[in-house]
Structure 1
Amino acid sequence: MTSIAFDPFLPLWVLGVLAVGAVLLGMLGIVRAVRGSWLRLTAFAALLLALANPQLMQENRDPLSTVVPVIVDRSASQDTPERKAMTDEALAELKTRFARFPDIEPRYVEVKTPESSDSPSTRLFEALKAAIADVPPARIGAAVMVTDGQIHDLPANAQALGFDAPLHGLITGRADETDRRIEIVRAPRFGIVGEDQELTFRVFDDGVAAPSPADVTISMNGEVLGDVTAVPGQPTPFTFKVPRAGSNVLEFSVAGLPGEVTDANNRAIQLIDGIRQNLRVLLVSGEPHAGERAWRNLLKSDASVDLVHFTILRPPEKQDGTPINELSLIAFPTRELFIDKIHDFDLIIFDRYQHRGVLPILYYDYIADYVKNGGALLIAAGPEFSGPDSIAATPLNSVLPASPTGDIDQAGFYPRLSDIGKRHPVTRGLDGSAAEPPKWGRWFRTIDVGQTDGETVMTGADNRPLLVLNRAEKGRVAMLLSDQGWLWARGYEGGGPHVSLYRRIAHWLMKEPELEEEALTARATGRNLIVTRQTIGDDPGPATVHYPSGREEQLALTRAAPGLWRAEKQMEETGLFTVTNGDFSALVHVGAVDAPEFKAMISTTDTLSPLSEATHGITTRLDGGKGSARMPAILPVNGPVRVADNNRLTVRMTDETILKGVDTMPLFAGFAGLALILLAMSSMWWREGR
């Protein structure tokens, strides 16, 4: 490219003033018919031109290459032997053919699903944008994608691509592929434990002209709920109950089709958090005392607890003949509470209660049956428990873990955790328990008992049982053998963790999963699998992890705290994992339950065809009919591509260049410029001399 530029020796404004002066003088001479005016004007023009220093500039440019990004899909849906072979063959052929065109610069990008992703998807256009981020749009000659067509970041239109060049799709897989998959259409994220919930799922038979009904097996937390027959393409409702609080795994498994692409999407997972309705607690206080308010305040402060509290203010021996309708006290509704509605309560607490005729002796049988059938009972014992009217002398004794000896120890002591208590989730890690003596206040009364059943997790004076936890058939019983816990609530000698202790006891009795003394749990954070084993025994040994692909792996558990063992591992796969340790097992889903990568799996031209047509590119299958790759030829085109060629990959060649250097030649430099000026001046002098 040739051009003329000026590099003046004087500032432009000086040249401008001189030029104006020269023009005025020249025009004045011409108007007055002064001889030689035109020669003077010419001489001044030559002088000004020399001072302006005109230069002839010649740019040296080299043509730039045409960039063609080649995006190769290596996602999970491409991970079948047939598709991998076709992709490898197509990539090798593209490299060979592009090597024949030195003016074309192919950029090969292989796109894999990041291992850290918990929701695998195929994002080819994101990779395309990154590959050409440093390239001007005018240099993009085309874009080629080798994929099965399952792409999850399709742009809205061709303009969103950011360049004006053909987009070509080379599709792996076969046109006659079939695949059966199942998806959750609508499902609750939360459900109330024990109540009916409804979920809708749908089975798809992709590539099947006349689908037949499919059998779907449904499991909850590893236990089969039943089989359902679903019509492919139609939503199928399913009603179930949430069995427990916390995370629940609902699994749908559909029988596969013969010869289908993959069975990875024949299962669907739905995670449902079970929540309890407000827990109903019945607190019966034998008489007003200092510790009664501690229990009441604790239970009333818990938003998840509905508390019914009765205090026996007027026992039968205080009958004085006052008519019931003139009493300001509420009569104790014994029949309604202990017969009609006893099973509505999640927990019954007897706080310093004694048998004084308020409850008929038969009612204690009902309470014992309530416990054996899955109920929860807490005995907060005071001196009454050792007396002649002790409830241990009633039929309730059949579910109590210990019987009183009749002795009461009134010496001061620090409540301490037993060896089992240091490992039991009810008492493990209580604030202040690690020190000796514990960093909390003393208590001053212990109710002595004989042989205990269950676990003694706290001890009092002389290592006597203080807190005993036990199971009675399907139910649970706890005995706190002192009524001095209110001293902690009042802050005596610094107080103590009464809130944590009382709440944990109550929640263990009501079977909260996180307080089970023997339990295996597994949860996922992204791709991290976290396994926790709670035990009051010895080292539980390694856990076995069963992968979705079917392989197994031993995972060593490390002691994190007394009675608590943990392991954490970054998982390579996503899906439903089963973790086992001894007789315990847990299900956990790693990754998103509705990951796009494992939904539709058959190869398709439908996703890329609209973009290819809009950019005058082609989308074609590589399958030549026998599983071999059929590669279209490459056609370079000068200028815009206006028509697609169905048999060739058109590439718009760029006309962009890069500046390598500039050659300059002054036009008035040297003898030529001097001769021209001398000629003008000599002519002017000669004319003036005549």
Structure 2
Amino acid sequence: MTISFVPFIPWSIIAALAALAIGLSALGFFRRIRGTAVRLAASAAVLAALANPLLLQEDREALTTVVPVIVDRSQSQQIPERIAATDRAVEDVRERLSRFSNVEPRIVEVADPATSDSPSTKLFEALSTAITDVPPARVGGAIFISDGQIHDVPAGQEALTFNAPVHGLITGKAGEFDRRIEILRAPRFGIVDEEQELTFRVFDDGSTSDLPADVNVRINGEDLGTIPAEVGRETPFAFRVPRGGNNVLEFSVAGTPGEVTDINNRAIHLIEGIRENLRVLLVSGEPHAGERAWRNLLKSDASVDLVHFTILRPPEKQDGTPINELSLIAFPTRELFVEKINDFDLIIFDRYQHRGVLPILYYDYIAEYVRNGGALLIAAGPEHAGEDSIAITPLASVLPAAPTGNVHEAGFYPRLSEQGERHPVTRGLEGSTAEPPQWGRWFRSVDVEADEGETVMTAADGRPLLVLDRAAEGRVAMLLSDQGWLWARGFEGGGPHVSLYRRIAHWLMKEPELEEEALKARASGRTLEITRQTIGNAPGEATITAPSGETRTVPLSEIAPGLYRAEQRMTETGLFTVSNGDFSTLVHVGAVDAPEFKAMISTTELLQPIASATRGLLTRLDNGDGAERIPDILPVRGEIRVSDDRRMLIRLTDETVLKGVNTLPLFAGFAGLAALLMAVSAMWWREGR
């Protein structure tokens, strides 16, 4: 209770009256006048009434003590045993805190942030956010339920905004160990077929074992073998980039019995293959308008080394010109088709016919080159239907179509076949969707019987125009017309000859983007994009396997003929497996060096300094005997000066909130009147004597 004054007249007048009363009383005492004390008391009563004293009584309510409980739900906590232990601990702590009516628990679940590509466990940041609306004096302590892998532990108590204990309940068992593999250094780009080197390391966290680990290596799904690696030491690995475009290197180490988890036993690295100086051999059987279209396309690509020969003077041509007067270059057949044939990435025969320039045996060498992984393109003209056609040489063993002997010479629009609308070489060619197609006509095609391969473009009456085929390890394409140059010249508006020719050449050289059947996945932040390419029926759903082992299926939607896609927002980060039918691919979502995956074993070391500095309790839920124990909670008033190794101490707050104020005037009503009457009566009685 307190006393306050609300005077009826200004304080200055009251002060003047008080001074006058004191002066007169002093004079009366000095002269020893009787009744002076009574007069002074009566004056004081009058002055007190004028000052109007009030008795104030505050109505206050005690505030609760806030205890934030920070629950770690990061990926290192997603091991089934830890999930169960965390759930039980949360319920137990909640129940124990609820026993105290003046304690307010705040349960805060902290998962990996959905916007972060490099997840880390930031529990103290979550703690600071949870108590932003609470005065520091009301915070009675903080309880962390975690595996101890916390990445924002402050350096000392002074970094906290409150003065109360920090307790830690650690999931996992003492003595845990975990094997993991990391790629330390690796190139992002590499020249195809040139040797590259990366360095990886196998870690055994929580273990001092020096036993070697066998690391299995795969590239683009193909096994490269097993490498013995010494645990804890850097291991170099040399490899060759097999193809242009994206290449996926996968390293996996077998799990060890009793390790915490095997989700970090695999690592991948993406390396972009760059083709350096692609070597293309273009052999034109005779000068014609179409050879320039091929030559210009190939010479415009700076990465292509073009070797071009045109047969101007076949052996049967005898006009009597002396040899020493000829300026023609002899066709180096043995050097090209025997000694250096494997140096070429692509061989193109443009309107070529067998007229004795190449020995018959050399066609067998070319066929063998294709079967061993080479690429062959036949750009056919009328000669292909004649008696000197290369289709009647040993080269026929790798050709998907045989000529009938007929050549059709009439205007037609090249059209995509049903397969061609889905095939990546011809899918989406500009102008192909209209009827008739929005490009110029051609006027000649060679009639063939296509027994093998895929006919992706047709001439008049549905006859094959472009046939693609695989021959063992190699690839063959047959363009059964020499009229493509009409598009290059802009006849009737021209056509997409550059796109068509380039796609044919790149498909022949096994460009991954042009594979008929392919499953690809890439990550953009936390979004996983899946692309399925097929020339068959709808591929159905794709299955996504997360690092935690959780699987989900997603439907693939057709966005173009033969092209299906799906996008999913991932809550986890790490190495995902995407599969569809017989196809499977790996993709890493988030940063590969995220702190969340650097260590998965539980630990008390990171949280121990701050717990000791704040006199908190740090203990494991499971001490190794299989029984979980939650320490008792003891509320304490006043500052906590010593720690308790068996109980979690909570500092109770003394904070209150003002609900209202009750006022009682001391000189109001009958009480004030009675006091004044008594003073005046006493003075009158004394004067009467």
TM-score surpassing 0.5? yes
| 1:428-473 deviation line (CA, Å, top 9, x unaligned) | 2222222221111111222334555422221222333221222233
CA spacing shift, 1:56–1:549, aligned 2, 3 Å: closer
| 1:47-96 deviation line (CA, Å, top 9, x unaligned) | 9xx9x999998765444322110112244444556545543444344334
**In the alignment, is the contact (CA less than 8 A) between 1:203 and 1:231 conserved in 2?**
yes
If the length of structure 1 is used for normalisation, what is the TM-score? 0.79
Amino acid at match of 1:261: V
Partner of 1:165: 164
Separation in 2 of the partners of 1:279 and 1:372?
19
Partner of 1:186: 185
* Partner SS for 2:477: strand
**In the alignment, is the contact (CA less than 8 A) between 1:179 and 1:602 conserved in 2?**
yes
CA spacing shift, 1:352–1:160, aligned 2, 3 Å: farther
CA spacing shift, 1:664–1:348, aligned 2, 3 Å: farther
Separation in 1 of the partners of 2:663 and 2:224?
88
1:135, CA displacement in angstroms?
A: 2.0
CA spacing shift, 1:664–1:425, aligned 2, 3 Å: same
Amino acid at match of 1:579: S
* Partner SS for 1:291: helix
**In the alignment, is the contact (CA less than 8 A) between 1:310 and 1:332 conserved in 2?**
no
CA spacing shift, 1:333–1:154, aligned 2, 3 Å: farther
**In the alignment, is the contact (CA less than 8 A) between 1:144 and 1:168 conserved in 2?**
yes
Partner of 1:688: none
Partner of 1:414: 413
Separation in 2 of the partners of 1:411 and 1:92?
83
Separation in 2 of the partners of 1:105 and 1:546?
40
* Partner SS for 1:293: helix
Partner of 1:479: 478
Partner of 2:380: 381
Amino acid at match of 1:343: N
**In the alignment, is the contact (CA less than 8 A) between 2:539 and 2:580 conserved in 1?**
no
Amino acid at match of 1:310: H
Separation in 2 of the partners of 1:610 and 1:250?
41
**In the alignment, is the contact (CA less than 8 A) between 1:137 and 1:164 conserved in 2?**
yes
Partner of 2:42: none
2:304 is equivalent to residue 306 of structure 1: yes
**In the alignment, is the contact (CA less than 8 A) between 2:636 and 2:650 conserved in 1?**
yes
**Segment drifting more, 56-65 vs 603-612:** 56-65
Partner of 1:588: 586
Separation in 1 of the partners of 2:393 and 2:229?
57
2:259 is equivalent to residue 260 of structure 1: yes
Q: How many residues align structurally?
A: 642
1:612, CA displacement in angstroms?
A: 1.9
Partner of 2:33: none
Separation in 2 of the partners of 1:575 and 1:294?
46
CA spacing shift, 1:403–1:3, aligned 2, 3 Å: farther
Task: Give the alignment of 1:437-452 within 5 angstroms.
Answer: 437-450=436-449
* Partner SS for 1:476: strand
Note the residue ranges of structure 2 that are not aligned, 5 or more in a row.
Answer: 20-45, 674-689
CA spacing shift, 1:579–1:321, aligned 2, 3 Å: same
2:566 is equivalent to residue 577 of structure 1: no
Amino acid at match of 1:69: P
**In the alignment, is the contact (CA less than 8 A) between 1:7 and 1:55 conserved in 2?**
no
Amino acid at match of 1:312: T
Separation in 2 of the partners of 1:659 and 1:558?
63
Separation in 1 of the partners of 2:257 and 2:136?
47
Separation in 2 of the partners of 1:272 and 1:153?
33
| 1:154-206 deviation line (CA, Å, top 9, x unaligned) | 34554444434332212223223333333333333344333333232222333
Partner of 1:603: 602
* Partner SS for 2:298: helix
Amino acid at match of 1:232: V
1:377, CA displacement in angstroms?
A: 1.4
**In the alignment, is the contact (CA less than 8 A) between 2:452 and 2:469 conserved in 1?**
yes
**In the alignment, is the contact (CA less than 8 A) between 1:5 and 1:57 conserved in 2?**
no
**In the alignment, is the contact (CA less than 8 A) between 1:520 and 1:532 conserved in 2?**
yes
CA spacing shift, 1:128–1:437, aligned 2, 3 Å: same
Task: Give the alignment of 1:509-524 within 5 angstroms.
Answer: 509-523=508-522
Note the residue ranges of structure 1 that are not aligned, 5 or more in a row.
Answer: 10-14, 27-45, 675-690
1:580, CA displacement in angstroms?
A: 4.5
**In the alignment, is the contact (CA less than 8 A) between 2:173 and 2:623 conserved in 1?**
no
Amino acid at match of 2:219: M
* Partner SS for 2:299: helix
**Segment drifting more, 415-424 vs 265-274:** 265-274
Task: Give the alignment of 1:114-153 within 5 angstroms.
Answer: 121-153=120-152
**In the alignment, is the contact (CA less than 8 A) between 1:445 and 1:483 conserved in 2?**
yes
2:215 is equivalent to residue 216 of structure 1: yes
Superposition RMSD in Å: 4.4
Partner of 2:677: none
2:462 is equivalent to residue 463 of structure 1: yes
CA spacing shift, 1:60–1:273, aligned 2, 3 Å: farther
1:308, CA displacement in angstroms?
A: 1.1
Amino acid at match of 1:238: F
* Partner SS for 1:125: helix
Partner of 2:90: 91
Separation in 1 of the partners of 2:53 and 2:388?
123
Partner of 1:70: 69
| 1:267-287 deviation line (CA, Å, top 9, x unaligned) | 333344444334322233344
**Segment drifting more, 250-259 vs 169-178:** 250-259
Task: Give the alignment of 1:7-156 within 5 angstroms.
Answer: 60-80=59-79, 82-84=81-83, 86-113=85-112, 121-155=120-154
1:99, CA displacement in angstroms?
A: 3.1
* Partner SS for 1:493: helix
1:350, CA displacement in angstroms?
A: 2.5
1:376, CA displacement in angstroms?
A: 1.0
CA spacing shift, 1:355–1:401, aligned 2, 3 Å: same
1:415, CA displacement in angstroms?
A: 0.8
Partner of 1:33: none
| 1:389-438 deviation line (CA, Å, top 9, x unaligned) | 54445544443334445543332111112232223221122222222211
**In the alignment, is the contact (CA less than 8 A) between 1:420 and 1:456 conserved in 2?**
yes
**Segment drifting more, 169-178 vs 383-392:** 383-392
**In the alignment, is the contact (CA less than 8 A) between 1:522 and 1:586 conserved in 2?**
no
* Partner SS for 2:289: coil
Amino acid at match of 1:428: R
Identity %: 66
**In the alignment, is the contact (CA less than 8 A) between 1:118 and 1:590 conserved in 2?**
no
Partner of 2:278: 279
CA spacing shift, 1:509–1:641, aligned 2, 3 Å: same
**Segment drifting more, 503-512 vs 341-350:** 341-350
**Segment drifting more, 226-235 vs 54-63:** 54-63
Separation in 1 of the partners of 2:91 and 2:383?
89
1:498, CA displacement in angstroms?
A: 1.4
CA spacing shift, 1:389–1:541, aligned 2, 3 Å: same
